[in-house]
Amino acid sequence: MNAITLEPFTHNSKSCIAIKFAYNFEIKEYIKNFNGVYWTKTHRTFYIYFDEVRLKDLKTYIKKEGLRILDSDNNNIAPHYSIGVKLELKPLNEEKTLVYRHFLEFLKGKRFSTSTIASYSGFILKFLRFTDSKPVNELNETDVRHYIEWTVEKLNYTISTHRQMVSGFKHFAYFYPACSIDIDKVYMPKKDKKLPTVLSIEEVFLLLKSTKNLKHRTIIAMLYGSGLRIGEIIDLKLSDFDFNRKQLHIKSSKGRKDRYTTIAESLFPLLKNYHKTYEPKIYFIENPKGGKYSPESIRAFIRKNTKTAGIIKTVTPHTLRHSYATHMLEQGTDIRYIQELLGHSRPETTMIYTQVTRKDLQQIRSPLDTTIKKLSLQDNSNKKLTIT
């Protein structure tokens, strides 16, 4: 009988369960059809994000096909965390398992994205395990505060993750009013006010020039040339291109919104060459075996080619989107049009690019330059004063 091994590991700073087996096409296709299974090229394995309820469902799904399961931890898989510490939390009891399952259905009913559901449910799952045997009805904001303090100290959660966690608790308190959590008493930290990293136009061209692989160069060019999010270029289909109007139809993007954005006319020869070489069938960017391309692969080759180009900035797919918006603003494009092209709901989100644009900053003179110029004019020697 074919056997499948389940092993805990950390991937993208999250606790995961690897699904390993000797290659068999039928088993591979069967595992791929389980809801929530992903493939990691880095570790070369199928996996699920750790969730004891999802793990239980996976085991039931595997056994249903008559496959044997081998657990690496003697049938007791515990989560691992990115900080390298193995933290033991007791499994959910029957009551909390039921509440958690219903909370998952509640999140799905609100039509949240898969990533949002995974994040919110993951926070609540660990919270229910953290509170051990305390009944759900008796959980209050003090329990939430203790849990948040624990995650900040032990799991080193960032402010953005902290904020997302509080949002998850707001939905849980609304979903389960029988508990005693007064969400208004749960502190929400303020957002970091960090400015985005932006490449110069010269650095963008240097990155494109250093990217020898045609598919990779096309992806980078589209991310920058149309200001796309990584999820948008992965979901982009051939039918979304309108070359006559030089437009892209971005469908069901962030916030389930559609929008139109531009296609750079200068990219037409590159796009034609790419399409002729790779012959994608459905999606604009497809993996070698068909289907959607991997976001991890895009991040990896951008890091690699950034290093090859000698660019010392940290460059991600979103850096190219930031650069697109900043350069548009510097070229004089009205910020309202930029907001529409980027798909921002609020103008305040787009306004951040006014803080990194160089157009106005280059016209501002330092008082030191002004003073030195004044002294130079007063100096009879007619020599330009400098500081050395």
Active site residue 321: yes
Of 233, 194, 225, the closest CA to residue 207 belongs to 225
In a domain, 84, yes or no: no
Q: What is the pLDDT of residue 82?
A: 41
**357-375 pLDDT per residue, tens:** 766 666 667 676 666 677 7
Q: Which of 96, 129, 171, 321 is catalytic?
A: 321
Q: Provide the percentage of residues in the chain whose pLDDT is more than 90.
A: 40
What mean pLDDT comes out for the span 121-150?
91
Active site residue 237: no
Asked if 237 and 339 sit in the same domain, the reply is: yes
> 224 is in which domain, residue-wise?
201-355
pLDDT band at residue 85 using 50, 70 and 90 as cut-offs: very low
Asked if 30 and 118 sit in the same domain, the reply is: no
Active site residue 254: yes
Q: 43: domain CATH number?
A: 3.40.1170
Q: Which of 126, 217, 322, 344 is catalytic?
A: 344
Asked if 210 and 160 sit in the same domain, the reply is: no
Above 70 in pLDDT, residue 176? yes
CA distances from 289 to 21, 23, 25, 35 (A): 20, 16, 14, 20
What mean pLDDT comes out for the span 50-67?
84
Asked if 215 and 327 sit in the same domain, the reply is: yes
Asked if 127 and 180 sit in the same domain, the reply is: yes
| Listed residues 159, 185, 211: the one ending a domain | 185
**288-327 pLDDT per residue, tens:** 777 788 888 899 999 999 999 999 999 999 999 999 999 9
Q: How many CB atoms lie within 10 A of CB 104?
A: 19
Range from 1-10, 122-131, 379-388 carrying the lowest mean pLDDT:
379-388
Active site residue 111: no
- Do residues 360 and 379 lie in contact, with contact meaning Cβ atoms separated by under 8 Å? no
Q: Which residues contact 222 (CB under 8 A, 6 or more apart)?
A: 228, 233, 236, 267, 284
Q: How many CB atoms lie within 10 A of CB 218?
A: 24
Asked if 172 and 234 sit in the same domain, the reply is: no
Q: What is the pLDDT of residue 196?
A: 87
Asked if 298 and 232 sit in the same domain, the reply is: yes
In a domain, 12, yes or no: yes
Alpha helices per DSSP H over the chain: 25-32, 52-64, 94-109, 114-130, 141-154, 159-175, 201-210, 214-225, 230-235, 268-278, 295-308, 317-330, 335-342, 347-351, 367-378
Active site residue 101: no
Asked if 113 and 208 sit in the same domain, the reply is: no
Asked if 106 and 218 sit in the same domain, the reply is: no
In a domain, 33, yes or no: yes
Q: Which of 47, 120, 224, 353 is catalytic?
A: 353
Count of domains for the chain = 3
Q: Which of 162, 163, 254, 292 is catalytic?
A: 254
DSSP 8-state code for residue 368: H
In a domain, 150, yes or no: yes
Q: Which of 229, 249, 275, 299 is catalytic?
A: 229
Asked if 152 and 269 sit in the same domain, the reply is: no
In a domain, 333, yes or no: yes
Q: 345: domain CATH number?
A: 1.10.443.10
Active site residue 353: yes
